[in-house]
Structure 1
Amino acid sequence: MRKLFGICLVLTSVALLVSYGLWTEQRPAGHYLSDLRIRLAINAGQPGERGNLLGVEPELFPTDYQSLEQLHRKLAAYLQQAREQGLINPRTIVVLPEHVGTWLFVRGEKNQLYQASARDEAMSWLPWSNPLAFIAAIVQATGENRLEDAYLRMKAHSMAQDYQNLFGGLAKEFGVTLVAGSIVLPEPYVEEGQLRTGHGTLYNSSLTFGSDGQPMGQPQRQRYPGAYQHDYVQTARNTPLNVIDTPAGRLGVLIGSDSLYPANYAELNTRGVELIAVPAFVAGKSSWVSPWRGLWDKSAATDIDLRAGSLSEGEAWHALTLTARPPHSTARAGVSVFLRGQFWDQGSSGHSFASYNGQTLGEQPFENRTLSGARLINLWL
């Protein structure tokens, strides 16, 4: 009897393990009707032969990342509408927001993850549905927050491939230069025209693709990550700022909070940068109008005399983004594009704006309401 009980226990354990293994491989596709509407929020300057900076501020949700095809459909629909409005030409530089690529780590997951009500609940499904990848990632994690590090590290190889296929494909499809927001990857680099990952610390990086769909130079790493990610994303203070020669002029990319540090503009001035793209993100639904908490890296902000709490988050971004404000920046134009949407209980609140001829060009406020949906921010050069 004891032997029979032991055999039954072994068989049951094997059956459970096989069932679990099969469950981890199942990725049922959900049905999601995405809102593809986008409106032209800012359209400054006069059309001409010098091209334009075109910020695409998408409104994204976890379900947009269920598949690469689904995300492509949404972003391509935005660009198609911009094309129909005459905003896309061979000299157009399209700028997407910070972390638009980072969320690729939830691509192809279980429906339970997308249907969760809170981010922590959603993330709890990742280890269960990717057990081996998660174990390997948690062992390799280097950030102070090892759990967040592991979530982003566990699919790094496929994320890099998805990022290049999606955004390089969009650049080629629409014949534009495309600043592909940003993505968090371990030690990213381009080799033989392919975005690859290493095994070291995580960096928030941006890659620009040409109209042929190929990367233009190496990924730009963020020098000063924001407070919300400092415990798992590495600072890159000593990394050089890349300068990219585009059909519209020499382009520099400052990721998010990097655009708030004057020394970065001074460095780009020495490199003859004419245009600056700022993929950005502000976490929290009401953060844009809340008191500014100051810069995270105080040691690099000694030449900033704004006190925390003296103005709102949005006012601080406008005051510290120095594009086209000589002598601080000799670039002739720039655009700051923020990620919009709702990722479970994590909201966002940034409002995109352009800079030209010493002026900040923002969308006119609407009384007593905040308009949802995606936005285009266009600046003719």
Structure 2
Amino acid sequence: MRKVLGFLAAVVLAILLTSYGLWTHKRHAGHYLTDLRIQLVINDGEPGDHGNLLGIQPELFPSDYSSLKRLHRKLAAYLQQAREHGLINDKTIVVLPEHIGTWLFAVDEKSQFYEAATIEEAMNWLAFSNPVLFIDALLHARGESRLDDAHLRMKARSMAQDYQSVFGGLAKEFGVTLVAGSIVLPAPEVHNGQLQAGKGALYNSSVVFGRDGLPIGQPQRQLFPSWYQRGYIRSGKDAPLNVIDTPAGRLATLIGSDSWYPDNYVRLNASGAELIAVPAFVAGNGSWSRPWRSDKHPTLMSPLDPEPKPLTEGEAWRSLSLTPISTAKAGISVFMRGQFWDQGSAGHSFATRGGQSVAERSISAALKGAKPGHGARLINLWL
């Protein structure tokens, strides 16, 4: 009798494991496309032969990452509209927001993943539907937040390939230099023209793709990660600040809060940076107008005067980023918009010329029909 029960239990277990294995291989195939419209809110200067800095602030959702084809279609639609406005030429530098590549862990997942109510639930589905990848990533995870590390590490190899495929492909398709926001990968490096994930700590890094679709130089690591990510993203404070030659001039990338540190501009001035791209991300709906968490950045308080009332997140960004300390002739900060499960995003992209803020067009005209804080935006500076 025990043998019979044991045999039946083994059969049931085998059926369950087989069913689970088959389930993990079935992937979501969505058909709904989110809004492809984008508004031109800054178009400063006159077209000429020196090129332009073009920021694309997209509005993205988990379903946009369900396949590379869908993500490409959405971003290509934005670039095509920029082309129709006459903003694309062979000296154009396109800048995308921070973490636009990090969300590539969402590619080709289960429908339950995209339909999750919270990001925590979505991450549980991610691990449950990729058990082998998750267990391996957990064994190699580093830092204090090992679970967060594992979630970002588990698909690193495919994410690196997808990042180059999508953003390198867009650069080549539209004939532009493209600052591809950022992506979190373990010890990323470029070998023989290909971005590859390593086996070390996670870094938030940005890659610039040339008009041939290939990376220019090595990834730029973020020197000072945001306070809420320090438990799983390693500081690259000893990393070099790359300045690369582009058809429009010498370009540097400062990821997110790296743009707040005066010493970074001193270093870039010495390297002859003429243009500065700042891919940025602010988590949380409405965070742009909430009080800035100055207690999380004590070393930055000296250049700011909080009187007569505390600074908002947006005021802090505009005060600290792309300041007159820089000798670059132009710069642009580009933020992500959209909703990833219960994690919204905020941020109002802006540009500077010679350290001075560039005014937007009339908000009522530029964002007609869009809710405040919503809608994709184009920010263009002619050089």
TM-score of the superposed pair, with normalisation by structure 1: 0.96
> What is the identity, as a one-letter code, of the residue corresponding to 2:349?
S
Aligned to 1:207: 207
Is contact 2:100-2:183 (8 Å) kept? yes
Is contact 2:322-2:331 (8 Å) kept? no
Is contact 1:294-1:307 (8 Å) kept? no
Bigger mean CA deviation after superposition, 290-299 or 200-209: 290-299
| Residues 213-232 of structure 1, C-alpha deviations (whole Å, 9 max, x = no match) | 01000000000111121111
Bigger mean CA deviation after superposition, 261-270 or 313-322: 313-322
> What is the identity, as a one-letter code, of the residue corresponding to 1:348?
S
- The counterpart of 2:353, out of the listed 345, 352, 356, is 356
Task: Decide whether aligned partners of structure 1 residues 306 and 231 sit closer, same or farther in structure 2, where only a CA change above 3 A counts.
Answer: farther
Residue 159 (structure 1) shift: 0.3
Tell me, which stretches of 5 or more residues in structure 1 are unaligned?
Answer: none
What secondary structure, in the 3-state scheme, does the structure 2 residue paired with 1:157 have?
Answer: helix
Residue 362 (structure 1) shift: 4.7
What secondary structure, in the 3-state scheme, does the structure 1 residue paired with 2:138 have?
Answer: helix
- The counterpart of 1:330, out of the listed 313, 327, 330, is 327
Is contact 1:44-1:380 (8 Å) kept? yes
Calculate the aligned-residue CA RMSD, in Å.
1.7
* Cα distance in 2 for residues equivalent to 1:229 and 1:199: 19
Bigger mean CA deviation after superposition, 289-298 or 349-358: 289-298
What secondary structure, in the 3-state scheme, does the structure 2 residue paired with 1:12 have?
Answer: helix
Tell me, which stretches of 5 or more residues in structure 2 are unaligned?
Answer: none
Aligned to 2:86: 86
What secondary structure, in the 3-state scheme, does the structure 1 residue paired with 2:143 have?
Answer: coil
Matched residue count: 377
Is contact 1:51-1:92 (8 Å) kept? yes
Aligned to 2:13: 13
Residue 269 (structure 1) shift: 0.1
What secondary structure, in the 3-state scheme, does the structure 1 residue paired with 2:358 have?
Answer: strand
Aligned to 2:247: 247
Aligned to 1:113: 113
Aligned to 1:256: 256
- The counterpart of 2:342, out of the listed 333, 336, 345, is 345
> What is the identity, as a one-letter code, of the residue corresponding to 1:133?
L
Residue 267 (structure 1) shift: 0.3
Is contact 2:331-2:351 (8 Å) kept? yes
> What is the identity, as a one-letter code, of the residue corresponding to 1:200?
G
* Cα distance in 2 for residues equivalent to 1:380 and 1:303: 33
What secondary structure, in the 3-state scheme, does the structure 1 residue paired with 2:54 have?
Answer: strand
* Cα distance in 2 for residues equivalent to 1:372 and 1:266: 35
Bigger mean CA deviation after superposition, 290-299 or 48-57: 290-299
Task: Decide whether aligned partners of structure 1 residues 119 and 71 sit closer, same or farther in structure 2, where only a CA change above 3 A counts.
Answer: same
Is contact 1:62-1:114 (8 Å) kept? yes
TM-score of the superposed pair, with normalisation by structure 2: 0.95
Task: Decide whether aligned partners of structure 1 residues 102 and 369 sit closer, same or farther in structure 2, where only a CA change above 3 A counts.
Answer: closer
* Cα distance in 2 for residues equivalent to 1:75 and 1:279: 16
Bigger mean CA deviation after superposition, 366-375 or 287-296: 366-375
Residue 298 (structure 1) shift: 3.6
* Cα distance in 1 for residues equivalent to 2:168 and 2:302: 38
Is contact 2:33-2:64 (8 Å) kept? no
What secondary structure, in the 3-state scheme, does the structure 1 residue paired with 2:338 have?
Answer: strand
Is contact 1:64-1:71 (8 Å) kept? yes
Residue 373 (str. 1) matches residue 375 (str. 2): yes
